[in-house]
A and B are shown apart, each in its own frame.
Chain A
Amino acid sequence: MNPRGSNFTGPDRPTWDLYSKCIHCGLCLQQCPTYRVLGREADSPRGRIYQVLQVDAGRLRIGDSFVTHMDRCLGCRACETACPSGVQYGRILERARAEIESNYQRPWLERRLRDWFFTRVLHRRKGLERWAKWLRVYQRSGLQKVARASGMLKLLGLDKVEALAPQVDRAFFFPHLGMLYPAEGEVRGRVLFHVGCIASVAFTGLNEATVRVLNKNGFEVFIPRAQRCCGALQAHAGYREEAQRMARRNLRAFLEPNRDAIITNSAGCSAMMKEYGDLLQDNPKYGEHGRDVASKVKDVTEFLAEAGLRPPQRRLKARVTYQDPCHLAHAQKVRSAPRELLKALGAELVEMAHPDYCCGSAGTYNVTQNELSMKILEQKMDEVTQTRAEIIATANTGCMLQLRAGVKARGLNARVAHVIELLNEAYEDPPAAAEEQHSRHRRKRASHVPSS
């Protein structure tokens, strides 16, 4: 079609079928966080798709300009919600980023850091554990205090990014791998739990709460030992092959018969796993199987709302606002489930003006695009502040970290919590009994063979 030929090279490139769905009507512009901040067509979904089209037409190079604008995208997919033509923007973006990784030379240090994080740290439990332990030493040995107080971080330009790093837990969630947790009361179903990578080292409490709430609601939970990171961070960064590797491992790990669902508590993970079919579409061995597993994946809020909650003992007497995680609202179209759960708790739900606008977290975005991310967070915190909520509830770990940074920066007297943590508290037994049950809970070992 074009004498110049495409500047894309890979087999998994953005195709005409994908991007020609965009009829450039512009209805996505105001829904895009970067367009709202920057006001530039190049940093809007329509503009990014146009750039992809021009690269494919051979008119635009995969150079600094293209990479800058693609890197700036949060991947929040709010544009997909706004798009009447049904453009699958997320797919176009992921493929474009994979093309960038194979056709563009990033600066040496950036390249090494990205390779290290996406193919080493996230690749195996060991890598993640080692990294988390170092970070924990830094955070808990007093080194962090020294670094912060000395102004060294500021000098290196790392102060803002450092403040966003997750607080590493004293105990990781890894010992729970391979465990089976029985349902309480009448058994309503059996589920598998995908624990998440960062969540395993920095949100152990949330993971435990997830298991416990599921048990309390009559669901037996099995945590497959061989599971890996879902691959979302890798796919979003253009490490598509690495993401495919993760997906294949997970497909094998979650190949458990007689299970009703595969549960995650991070919207980013469930969104990725629901799309395994697309990620592995060119792999005949896994494509079909990928779709099978994908059809079983449920976000924990979606799953519990569908199943119906067993009445919790305590009510949540608080003013709560709910932040829609992008990958729950836009990627999975799950909006009412978490709200229903909060209402079932008796919370007074106060909506902010745009609960489904991105908070700016977006996986590793708040680190790689810190300045822009903080501007987006500012807008979000303006809306949060107006609700005068005591609790900011959400359903994704990345959003939690970002919102906590926002609350701290504003000096707000508000707590950021996952919907599941709030549910867990409502089911809590008296303190002493809870402690005891909790420890019993964790010690309970189980065979790998799921009970039928």
Chain B
Amino acid sequence: MPRSRISEELREIAGAEAVLDGAEDLMLYEYDAGLSTGTPQWVVFPETTKQVSRIAQLASRMNVPLVPRGAGTGLSGGSIPRAGGIVLVFSRMTKILEIDAANRRAVVQPGVVNADLSAVVARHGLFFAPDPASQKASTIGGNVAENSGGPHTLAHGVTVNHITGLEVVLPDGGVVQMGGKAADSCGYDLTGLFVGTEGTVGIVTAITVKLTKVAEAVETLLAIFHTIDDAANAVASITAGGITPVALEMLDGKTLRCVEEATHAGYPMDSGAVLLIELEGLREAVTEQAEAVRAVCERHNAREMRRAANEQERQLLWKGRKTAFAALGRLAPAYYTQDGVVPRSHIAKVLRYIETVAQKCNLQIGNIFHAGDGNMHPCILFDMRDPDQVKRTHEAGRMILTYCVDCGGTITGEHGVGMEKNELMPLLFSEDDLEVMKWVHDAFNPKSVLNPQKLFPTPRSCRETNVAGGIGGSR
């Protein structure tokens, strides 16, 4: 079937206004927040589950790749149409379908923005706990696909812990319900299986989320250290000491200076590293824990301890943290963020290794990360106009992730595998492990119509082109 016929059918399904197929429009969907690029042939903005189902049928029938996209804030190329095809954008499916405050549930369409849901349910004293740094823009559909986490993952868990039900469109157009409002459903936990499949298994069109009660008291502390080592050791001691902060974040000196320029949040300009520590719970317990945290930090040579005196100061500190990556954009025109996870006790060692990599590859690397759960985010700064720097950047990324795995960690905590780290999956999984995952993939998506060439290592012959592509190459 020629291209124009597919365009025609898509227009018939979603409406003429909801389909883009001109080159000038399509190039706007070839990027996300990461480095990978790939141009679609069609972009469609569906409004109903029925439309999504019919589009899936069409894609399957025509064997055209189908790639869902939320706000395009992903970092691993999850929404990039690597093999071309149709990109489904959910910016017209943004309704909150139901709020059940008594049972702490909400049902939302996939295009609802993460922070918008929390804002709407705030009047019930509730919020949606997963808090990726992109939460002011990223969609809940995207959070489900990537199983997103955030600073408060330490206490609240990742997205999968907050999803109880899904409506999913399968590649053949079938619509299935997984789970529901109940906390536990019988039979296979398909909801749990689905979350984090990065659009390779089905397309979610409605999501039942768990809402969390806002804590009675919250205390936010900033511990300032002369050296990264001291800060890293304090992290291990805090958690080893049985204190459970809801968030425990580290920012190194280089990052701090950029963040402070961007937000004027009051971060020190001359320290080695800081820890941003948040405690939540009943008032008495929080005060007690804050004292314990202070004692641990001081034992690890903390130069100074500050506490947010009010909600405004707290928000400012968090704004600094949540915009930290982009603030590094002040130092270089591009960055590449890694997302490896290591056991907490290895943080200091891994940070030292990252510094060696930076020197060896002659690159600047900033570190802002979820220290509490050992989720490292080395941010490699580079200039994409220099092909050699691009090459060194990718090399540095690979070295760091390999080291994380060697330390007993993994290659991604929350950003997803996508088309960015799929070739690294064998570092972590044996052929048999990957084969079982592939069974699941094939059971749902046998023709690889949905989001092809993601998550799994591609056959060797495809790899060369994949390395050459990306914004690094084209910009």
Contact = CB atoms under 8 A, between A and B. Distances in A.
B225 interface: no
Given A30-B136, A57-B475, A86-B262, A25 B73 contact: yes
A367 interface: no
A22 B384 CA distance: 13
Nearest to B111: A39
A86 to B, nearest CB: 6
Nearest to B119: A353
Interface string B144-171: 0000000000000000000000000000
Contacts of A23: 33, 325-326, 329, 333-335
A93 to B, nearest CB: 17
B335 A47 contact: no
Contacts, number: 102
A59 interface: yes
B300 to A, nearest CB: 29
B327 A27 contact: no
A63 B25 CA distance: 12
Interface stretch (A77-85, A125-133, A222-230): A77-85
B92 interface: yes
Interface string B315-345: 0000000011111011001110000000000
B236 to A, nearest CB: 29
Contacts of A50: 27-28, 31
Given A1-B385, A24-B33, A65-B22, A59 B27 contact: yes
B305 interface: no
Contacts of B89: 39, 41
B206 to A, nearest CB: 18
Contact of A66 (B24, B92, B113, B325): B24
B323 A27 contact: yes
Contact of A60 (B24, B94, B327, B330): B24
A8 to B, nearest CB: 16
Interface residues of B, number: 42
A42 B74 CA distance: 18
Contacts of A66: 24
B194 interface: no
A60 B39 CA distance: 14
Contact of A40 (B22, B31, B91): B91
Contacts of B335: 23
Contacts of B28: 40-42, 47, 50-51
B360 to A, nearest CB: 24
A29 interface: yes
A84 B31 contact: no
A385 interface: no
A258 interface: no
Contact of A25 (B24, B29, B113, B326): B326
A313 interface: no
Interface string B61-88: 0000000000111000000000000000
B45 interface: yes
A1 B386 CA distance: 10
A84 B323 contact: yes
Interface string B12-55: 00000000001011011101110000000000010000000000
A63 B24 contact: yes
B252 to A, nearest CB: 17
A54 interface: yes
A36 to B, nearest CB: 9
A58 interface: no
Given A23-B334, A50-B28, A86-B262, A29 B327 contact: no
Nearest to B89: A39
Interface string A49-78: 011011001011101011000000000000
Contacts of A27: 73, 134, 136-137, 323, 326
B136 A85 contact: no
Interface in B301-319: none
Contacts of A410: none
Contacts of B136: 27, 30-31, 82
Contacts of A178: none
Contacts of A42: 25, 28
B333 A41 contact: no
A47 B43 CA distance: 15
Nearest to B34: A24
A26 interface: yes
A85 B329 contact: yes
A42 B111 CA distance: 17
Given A39-B91, A39-B92, A26 B262 contact: no
Secondary structure type dominating chain A contacts = loop
B335 to A, nearest CB: 6
Given A39-B89, A51-B28, A25 B134 contact: yes
B329 A21 contact: yes
A20 interface: yes
A29 B475 contact: no
Interface string A207-221: 000000000000000
Contact of A85 (B25, B32, B326): B326
Given A39-B91, A86-B262, A86-B330, A30 B137 contact: yes
A116 B475 CA distance: 39
A347 B262 CA distance: 33
Contacts of A1: 385
Nearest to A61: B24
Residue with the greatest number of chain B CB neighbours at <10 A, chosen from A1, A60, A85: A85
Nearest to B116: A30
B113 A26 contact: no
Contact of B327 (A53, A54, A84, A353): A84
Contacts of B119: 353
Interface in A1-51: 1, 20-31, 39-42, 47, 50-51
A41 B334 contact: no
Interface string A83-104: 1111000000000000000000
A236 B111 CA distance: 32
A394 B89 CA distance: 36
B334 to A, nearest CB: 6
Contacts of A57: 475
Contact of A65 (B24, B45, B261, B333): B24
A340 to B, nearest CB: 15
Contacts of A61: 24
A26 B329 contact: no
Nearest to B331: A85
Contact of B333 (A21, A54, A83, A353): A21
A86 B261 CA distance: 9
B323 A26 contact: no
A40 B18 CA distance: 10
A85 B330 contact: yes
Given A21-B329, A23-B326, A39-B89, A54 B27 contact: yes
Given A39-B91, A50-B28, A25 B33 contact: yes
A51 B475 CA distance: 12
Residue with the greatest number of chain B CB neighbours at <10 A, chosen from A22, A28, A86: A86
A198 to B, nearest CB: 35
Contacts of A53: 475
B475 A26 contact: no
In the A-B complex, list the 7 residue pairs whose CB atoms are closest, starting with the nearest: A39-B91, A84-B323, A85-B329, A84-B326, A20-B333, A65-B24, A26-B73
20 contacts: A20-B333, A23-B33, A23-B326, A25-B326, A25-B329, A28-B137, A30-B71, A39-B92, A47-B28, A50-B31, A51-B28, A63-B24, A65-B22, A65-B24, A84-B325, A84-B326, A85-B326, A86-B261, A86-B262, A86-B329
Interface of A: 1, 20-31, 39-42, 47, 50-51, 53-54, 57, 59-61, 63, 65-66, 82-86, 353
Given A25-B329, A26-B73, A57-B475, 20 more contacts: A22-B329, A23-B325, A23-B326, A23-B333, A24-B33, A25-B134, A27-B73, A28-B137, A30-B116, A30-B137, A39-B45, A39-B89, A39-B91, A41-B89, A42-B25, A47-B28, A59-B27, A84-B326, A84-B329, A86-B262
